[in-house]
Structure 1
Amino acid sequence: MSQSVPPPGNPFAQGAGPGQLPQTPLPPAPPAPPARSHVGLGLVAALVAALVAGGVYGAIAGGIEREIGWAAVGVGFLVGFAAGKAGGSNPALPVVSAVLSLGAVYLGQLVALAIVAGKELHVSASTVFFEHFDGLTQVWKDELDPLTFLFFALAAFAAFSGAKKASA
């Protein structure tokens, strides 16, 4: 009965001698996944989010008859997050999100003014918004203050940041 003795060294080296690498080629690394970039989808998602968030922001601000800074941040973040998640890592999306968030906060402020004016005039907010839009925008201009611009800046910053983080 003869027993076979394994050769000295690494039994998995397949003929490699001491200090040599095995001769079996390694499979190539898989290619990196392509960067996800659906700009059109991101723009549509950001626009829808801006319209919805602006309306909700306006309804809340009009209902309590004051604006809230964190709500403007929420509007911006929602717009940016929607753009980043749907659109991917395209560098234009954070900028477009910031611009759309400015429009969303402006829309929200107009909706809030329409709600407050509707309560005072005993008409619906939609009547004030759609039939007296020129007067509504004039009231908005007359009531501009530094806090309004702070809310714009907060929303734009949150949108830009939200788009960057959501696309990562």
Structure 2
Amino acid sequence: MSQSPPPPPQQPYGPADGNPYAQQAPVGAPGAPQAPYPPQPGAFAPPPPPPAPSRGNLALGLVAALVAALVAGALYGVIIGATEHEIGWAAVGVGFVIGLAGGKAGGRSPVVPIVGAVLALASVYLGQLVGEAMMIADYVHADFSEVFFDHLDVVQEAWKKEADPLTFLFFAIAAFAAFSGAKKAAA
């Protein structure tokens, strides 16, 4: 009793049945027809997205705030020296730029807004001294660097004599702007 093996499976559409593609080589093989269009994007899984930029680096945030304080203070001083007036919105800008720089680089660290506020106070003071030195240098027909670096004590005395409550209001506004700017930038 022997059984015969089952017949081999047949393809439903062979070349004899009218399928002209049944015996062709796969696409991309030598001698095979080429696709009429290039492969579409997304045919394979897309590469993973690049990692998000590092935020929350406390040291970088403090350095960024310090650099912003030096630059903004110098610019504020130039504005004061050129106009011969303290300008409140410029003090707000000084504080906000310091807070923004520190907050963007430093992230949500609670130290950054506090340090930003302290740096804003120092930056506004620096700016007011630069402005005072520019006015003194113009008045005595001397070079700014000579007045600022060689006679800083004279510049500070002149600043003390001209300081009024509005001067200290600008300090407070700049510190508040730095604190809130750092909080908003880190969010």
Give the TM bin, normalised by the shorter chain: 0.7 to 0.9
The residue number in structure 1 matching 2:156 is: 137
Q: CA deviation at 1:142?
A: 1.6
Cα separation, 1, equivalents of 2:110 and 2:156? 33
How do 1:1-168 residues align onto structure 2 when only pairs under 5 Å count?
36-168=55-187
- Supply the AA of the counterpart residue of 1:38: N
Q: Which of the two has greater helix per residue?
A: 1
Aligned length: 135
- Supply the AA of the counterpart residue of 1:149: F
Q: CA deviation at 1:124?
A: 1.3
Cα separation, 1, equivalents of 2:85 and 2:145? 19
Answer yes or no: is the 8 Å Cα contact 2:55–2:105 preserved in 1: no
- Supply the AA of the counterpart residue of 2:175: A
Q: What's the % identity of the aligned pairs?
A: 63
Q: CA deviation at 1:106?
A: 0.1
Cα separation, 2, equivalents of 1:125 and 1:92? 36
With normalisation by structure 2, the TM-score equals 0.70
Greater gyration radius: 2
